[in-house]
Structures are given as C-alpha cells and as structure tokens.
Amino acid sequence: MGGKVVTVAQQKGGAGKTTLAAHLAAYWSQSGRNVAAVDIDPQGSFTHWTELRFQARPNHGLGFGFARLSGWRLPHELDRLAREHDVVVVDSAPHAQADSRTAIRYSHLVLVPVQPSPMDLWATLPTLELARMEKRRAMLVINRMPPRSLLAAEMAQKLAEIDVKVANIVLGNRTGYASSLGHGLGVTEAEPGTTAALELSRLADEVALYAGLD
C-alpha cells in the first residue's frame, strides 16, 4: 500500500504553510517515518530551509527525501514518491496556482493553516472549496493563537458555520517555530521538551491519525 500525500494549502500568504510543512516533515522523519517533502511554491522558502538543514546536519543529510517540483511532472512524481514513502508533505504556494490545485487533487489530506481572525478564516474558503470539489479531506489548523485570545469564542462560532474538520491541537504564537527553522531544524529537533515542540508533536500525531498514516 502506498504512502499518504499531505498538502499544506491556503491562498493567503503568511498563514504558516511553510512553517507547518517543515515542522511536520522534520518531526515525522525524527519519529521514524519514511518521509518525502515537495516544494511547489516558486518562492522556494521550503527549499531554502532544506539548504540550511543540509549545512546544519553534515553527517545526517536531510533525513527525508526532497524534491522541488512544478508543472506537468507533478502528478507522476507525487504518485511515485507516495509509493516509495510513508508520507509526502507538500508545501504549496499562495494564490490559486495550477500546481496547488494539482497537489490537492493528488492528496489524501489537505491541511489548511489559518490565523485566528474572521478575515483569515474567510480566506480559507476557496481552498476548502477546492478540496471539496476534488473530494479530498481537509483539516484546518489554527495557527499563531495568541494567549487568552478574545477571538476564541467568535472563532468557534465562525468555524461551526463553515462546517469543516478542525484540528484539536492549536499552535500558539511561539518564537521557537521560526528560530528553529532559521537553523535548518524542526522545533522538535532544536528544542525538544519546550511547549512549542510538545504542541507540534501532538498536532503531528493528530494529523497522522486523521490522514491514516501507519
């Protein structure tokens, strides 16, 4: 049986797609899964992180397979990578690019990071609709939740209106997520035991379960 393709998608830039994709890839490979990561964003932020990672781990390599892909090769390559790995994490571009649409079509799960504001929630609707049209499972991940957010109640109501699966684990607004990536690492590698690392590993476990990873 083939592995699962998990695409992180959301039209809004800065929502946390690359952050989520990188930490998931690092954690899943750290916890013994055979992982591939694919960067389909022309901006190449994920690719840049892999370059830092390569330098940061001279004796270990990336710890997962990696490809930067676009265009007509994408479906075939996603299919091939899924056959050869337990999980393929795809970091996609903002805006409704053709490649993002293709990646969604070939995914088992579409992860949609969203910051806790009503406007950001509206911005997820086109991505959720795309997943729905392609009959793919989608899961919202609330990202950068400030402590004691006054928005929480309002968000909960808006989320209920949207009627989409929402991850139980919410990611806080934590410097560890950015600083670890700046060193080419995931937060669970750079600072194990911290709140950020614990939160991320719990979310990754929840996502793995929902995506049907072994």
Ligand X SMILES: Nc1ncnc2c1ncn2[C@@H]1O[C@H](COP(=O)(O)OP(=O)(O)O)[C@@H](O)[C@H]1O
Residues that bind Mg ion (CB under 5 A): 17-18, 45
Among 3, 5, 11, 16, binds ligand X (CB under 6 A): 16
**Is 128 in contact with 112 (CB distance < 8 Å)?**
yes
Rg of the chain's alpha carbons, rounded to an integer?
Answer: 16
Q: What type of residue sits at position 105?
A: R
Q: How far is the CB of 43 from Mg ion (least distance, A)?
A: 6
Among 83, 125, 178, 192, binds ligand X (CB under 6 A): 178
Among 104, 110, 171, 190, binds ligand X (CB under 6 A): 171
Is 177 an interacting residue with respect to ligand X (CB under 6 A)?
Answer: yes
Is 136 an interacting residue with respect to ligand X (CB under 6 A)?
Answer: no
Contacts of residue 23, defined as CB under 8 A and 6 or more positions apart, other chains included, come to: 177, 180, 181, 186, 187, 188, 200, 204
Instruction: Name the 3-class secondary structure at 100.
Output: helix
* Tokens found for residue 45: 């932020």
Q: Which residue do the tokens 């109640």 mark?
A: 153
* Tokens found for residue 181: 């990536």
Q: Of 63, 74, 70, give the one whose Cα is nearest residue 33.
A: 63
Q: How far is the CB of 200 from Mg ion (least distance, A)?
A: 17
For Mg ion, give the closer residue by CB, 4 or 17: 17
Instruction: Name the 3-class secondary structure at 115.
Output: coil
Instruction: Name the 3-class secondary structure at 116.
Output: coil
Is 14 an interacting residue with respect to ligand X (CB under 6 A)?
Answer: yes
The angle, 0 to 180 degrees and rounded to 10, between the axes of the packed helices 195-211 and 175-182 is 90
Tell me the window of 12-20, 62-70, 120-128, 147-155 that interacts with ligand X (CB under 6 A).
Answer: 12-20
Q: How far is the CB of 10 from Mg ion (least distance, A)?
A: 9
Is 13 an interacting residue with respect to ligand X (CB under 6 A)?
Answer: yes
Among 4, 53, 105, 174, binds ligand X (CB under 6 A): 174
Q: How far apart are CA 84 and CA 118, in angstroms?
A: 40
Residue 34-63 contact track with ligand X, rule CB under 6 A, x = bound: -----------x------------------
Is 69 an interacting residue with respect to ligand X (CB under 6 A)?
Answer: no
Is 173 an interacting residue with respect to ligand X (CB under 6 A)?
Answer: yes
Q: Which residues bind ligand X (CB under 6 A)?
A: 13-19, 45, 94, 143-144, 171, 173-174, 177-178
